[in-house]
Structure 1
Amino acid sequence: MDRHPNTLSHALIEAEGRVCAPNYQPLPVVVERALNCHVWDVDGKRYLDMMGAYSAVSHGHLHPRIVAAATRQLQRVAVTSRAYHGDTLAPFLAKLCALAGFEQALPMNTGAEAVETAIKAARRWGHQIKGIADGQAEILVARQNFHGRTTTVISASSEPSYRAGFGPFTPGFRWFDFGDIASVRAATTANTCAVLVEPVQGEAGVVLPPPGFFAALRAWCDAHQVLLIADEVQSGLGRTGRWFAFEHEGIRPDGLVLGKALGGGLLPVSAFLADRAVMQVFNPGSHGSTFGGNALAAAVGLEALQVMEDEQLVARSATLGAHLLARLRGVQAQSQGLVRAVRGRGLWVGVDLDPARASARDVVERMAHAGVLSKETHETVIRFAPPLTITRELIDEGVDLFAQVLAALPAPRAG
């Protein structure tokens, strides 16, 4: 298979490599335009998007209502900073808080910024409300977590590749094993102020918690005056077939981190949500962002929420997600052990390959060659997270091509 043809794509990939820092390893696809569930490269080839920009394009590419809302706002005002009030922020946050069931929100831009906001809120809450000595507050985080790439956030990571060479690291984090309440108990100290956790571990390979874990975690946090903060940057806003993944667990966190899909596939929009009992720790000057909550972002975020509600994208994710999961488990049954596991909720599924049989990177490159875009994680898992606007027919098309790619892989060598 020729993965580097002499095309415009190849020339642009080489040009990008000369001027762009090598902090990503993109697939050899140069996207020129996109619409709903499809993208086209500069050579005119069409691809089915089964990745959805890590859930950022949950509404499909260039949803016409969201584009129209952005266009209207761009003709009025885009950015003034939070030095002034605007007429779009309150409607956006009111809608967001009503949907999520929290009293207040603090708007930011990227998911990592919203996580940093949650960390600051938890530490100050621990000091001011729980009485932990200033500078001694600790936050429990799960091993194999992914909360972002900032220096403080990677200090909470257990992944060596995220940390290598970037120290010294920010103290104040203690690890537990995801899904193991005994491990949470062992990690808790008198200085524990919060547990920061993904309801589904996305970058770890779409790892689901065992039944009852989050109920036990909620009870443990209540018993020890510890905040439970859910990072739903990827899992939130319909991705798992509920508005928020914590709803599957029958619990309510004390804080919620959202991003990605909140920007409607157009802009970076994120937020940290909590009740006033937590948000009261902030005062003017204690936290901020020049672009966070800007007029354009708020207008886009509000329309993104309204579209998700009007088009019933959450219910669509639940129904079509069950179909996607069933189809991929059918592929697993026919794979003769190549597919070790299929895990997921809603339109978010991880397919775990046997590394002795196939490289996940090689498979996603072959999928792109066949016209389906996905991305590997942790070397063995292929993620499927298409726009929530996808159809049953397009799911079948994507899974059929995936199955064909697996069937065409070179046979393993004997012995």
Structure 2
Amino acid sequence: MLRRPTQTIIRNNSLINNILHMKKEKMSHQIHSRRIEGLDNNIWIEFTKLAADYSVVNLGQGFPDFSPPNFVKEAFTRAINSDLNQYTRAFGHPPLVKILAKFFGKLLGQDIDPFSEVLVTVGAYEALFCFFQALIDDEDEKPVSGRLMTSADWVLDPAELANKFSKHTKAIVINTPNNPLGKVFKREELQVIADLCVKHNVVCISDEVYEWLVYDANEHVRIASLPGMWERTITVGSAGKTFSATGWKVGWAIGPKDIIKHLQTVHQNSNYHCATGAQQAVAEGFVKEFGRLGAPESYFISLRQELQLKRDRLAACLTSVGLTPVIPEGGYFLIADVSAVKVDLPDSTETEQPFDYKFVKWLVTNKGLATIPVSAFYSQDNKKSFENFIRLCFVKEDSTLRKAEQILQEWKTEADPVIAPT
């Protein structure tokens, strides 16, 4: 039976590009080390290796270098000692899916069934993987990328977004708080997306892994809570970001059972399961937080306050050496405009590389500071607009941030003026 090609609107994000690439290559059972649209396959591996080879201060990788809270670490220890070391239910450890349903049911205003509307996955990555494997047919469907933020003020462009929708559109992926921009979508912007989804009968997958890390007076709004969106939205979350334990790889997808059931099929026939002990620890963590949700003693509140101070510290340092930080409203990352930096980069045989890619390599090898080029997150058509930005992770120990400050201050002192006059 012939079918019309349909479209999937995606955010300009390397993770989604990777998932689509894996799906396209899955039938060949081969590994290809080639560039895909908008991303070098090995960019994260390359910069991680560079950081390790040069023993640098690493603000590139998005993980905390401090410990998770004691109450979840202790729960993990108890789980192991009580012999929760074998397989649990494939779609999620019962204590975890029950508290997730209760917790997010309260936040979304929904009566969520824990066994048919919650899927526990190996990190948020696998939740996204299952979505695309289950619902997107790469033989008939194609991703449509678009720069949905204007460079002037980093707001959603409603007209451009509306133009990306058509009768062929099947799904949209959003990410709020956003990586790498740190943008938190406002209720009005999410309503624009919701209206388009309802109008065109489009499924929404909402990546909300940084949901608790929202700064200043900003508010995280869950798109599944808007009218008409629960029945068409998969909300993705991450215990790694929620409890500062990225190595545990516990994620989840929450949504209506008629969509979740397809993700469950993919999950049980691929990864099948994630660590029982980690799931139990996350369950106990959510039980504790449910009892103090919104209270000053909540870990979610104290972590947000702590990270906001770290964000402000790094932003102040960047400003002091003449760089221009874009202050994030949420998330782990801060991006900085480096277009005013005067650096004599060595001639490169990789002439097609954007400026930020070459600058980041220079920063690692010459100054001992690891960051990430922002253009890596964008499709080929949009790379040029973002090659003057680098991404830095501020979710680090104060001692790590202090070392980064020393590097930047020494660089400014030894090469002043590093920054071109404006």
Do Structure 1 and Structure 2 share a fold, with TM-score over 0.5? yes
Q: CA deviation at 1:173?
A: 1.9
Offset at residue 115 of structure 1 (A):
0.5
Q: Which of 146, 150, 161 is the aligned partner of 1:184?
A: 161
Deviation at 1:283, TM superposition (A): 8.8
- Maintained 8 Å contact 1:347/1:384: no
Aligned mates of 1:267, 1:26 — CA distance in 2 = 19
For residues 171-210 of structure 1, what are the structure 2 equivalents within 5 Å?
Answer: 171-178=141-148, 179-203=156-180, 205-206=181-182
Number of equivalenced pairs: 321
Contact 2:310/2:394 (8 A) holds in 1: no
SS of the counterpart of 2:392? strand
Code of the residue aligned with 1:404 in structure 2: it is Q
1:207–1:343 CA contact under 8 A, matched in 2: no
Q: What 5-or-longer segments of structure 2 have no aligned partner?
A: 1-41, 149-155, 344-358, 376-386
Question: What residue number does 1:68 align with?
Answer: 74
Q: Which amino acid aligns with 2:84?
A: V
> How many angstroms apart in 2 are the aligned matches of 1:194 and 1:303?
34
Instruction: Kindly indicate whether residue 214 of structure 2 is the aligned counterpart of residue 240 of structure 1.
Output: yes
Given the alignment of the two structures, is residue 97 of structure 1 paired with residue 104 of structure 2, yes or no?
Answer: yes
Secondary structure in 2 aligned to 1:344? Answer: coil
Counting only pairs closer than 5 Å after superposition, residues 231-310 of structure 1 correspond to structure 2 as 231-233=207-209, 235-236=210-211, 238-241=212-215, 246-247=220-221, 252=226, 254-259=233-238, 260-261=240-241, 264-276=245-257, 278-279=259-260, 281-282=261-262, 285=265, 287-288=267-268, 289-305=270-286
What residue is the counterpart of 2:413 in the other structure? 408
With over 3 angstroms needed to count, the CA separation of the structure-2 counterparts of 1:328 and 1:342, relative to structure 1, is farther
Deviation at residue 196 of structure 1 after TM alignment: 0.8
Q: Distance in 1 between matches of 2:413 and 2:213?
A: 31
CA contact (8 A) 1:321 1:345 kept: no
Identify unmatched segments of 5+ residues in structure 1. 1-20, 32-40, 124-134, 136-151, 153-168
Matched position secondary structure for 2:327: strand
Supply the distance in 2 between the matched residues of 1:399 and 1:412 (Cα, whole angstroms).
17
Deviation at 1:108, TM superposition (A): 0.9
Change (3 A) 1:184 1:100: same
Write out per-residue CA displacement over residues 36-74 of structure 1, whole angstroms, 9 at most, x where no aligned residue. Answer: xxxxx8xxx9x7x866x525x49x325433222222222
Q: TM-score, normalised by structure 1?
A: 0.60
Aligned to 1:149: none
CA offsets 1:220-264 (integer angstroms, 9 cap, x no match): 22222222321123x23x22349x974288964622112332573
Runs of 4+ in 1 over 6 A off after TM superposition: 248-251, 393-396
Q: Which letter maps to 2:342?
A: R
Residue type at the aligned position of 2:214 = T
With normalisation by structure 2, the TM-score equals 0.60
Tell me the CA shift for residue 287 of structure 1: 4.3
Distance in 2 between residues matched to 1:399 and 1:192, nearest whole Å: 44
Asked if 1:312 corresponds to 2:298, the answer is yes
Q: How does 1:23-34 map to 2 (within 5 A)?
A: 23-26=45-48
Distance 1:185 1:408 in 2: 49
Which residues of 2 match residues 10-409 of structure 1 at below 5 A?
23-26=45-48, 54-55=62-63, 57=64, 60-61=66-67, 63-75=69-81, 76-80=83-87, 82=89, 87-95=94-102, 97-98=104-105, 100-101=107-108, 103=112, 104-120=117-133, 122-123=135-136, 171-178=141-148, 179-203=156-180, 205-206=181-182, 212-233=188-209, 235-236=210-211, 238-241=212-215, 246-247=220-221, 252=226, 254-259=233-238, 260-261=240-241, 264-276=245-257, 278-279=259-260, 281-282=261-262, 285=265, 287-288=267-268, 289-305=270-286, 311-331=297-317, 333-336=319-322, 339-346=323-330, 348=332, 349-354=334-339, 356-358=341-343, 359-363=359-363, 377-378=374-375, 380-386=389-395, 397=402, 400-401=405-406, 403-405=408-410, 407-408=412-413
Q: Which amino acid aligns with 2:86?
A: V
Which is worse superposed, 105-114 or 75-84? 75-84
Distance 1:314 1:63, change over 3 A: closer
Deviation, structure 1 residue 268 = 0.9
Distance in 1, Cα, partners of 2:404 & 2:288: 27
Query: Percent identity at matched positions?
Result: 12
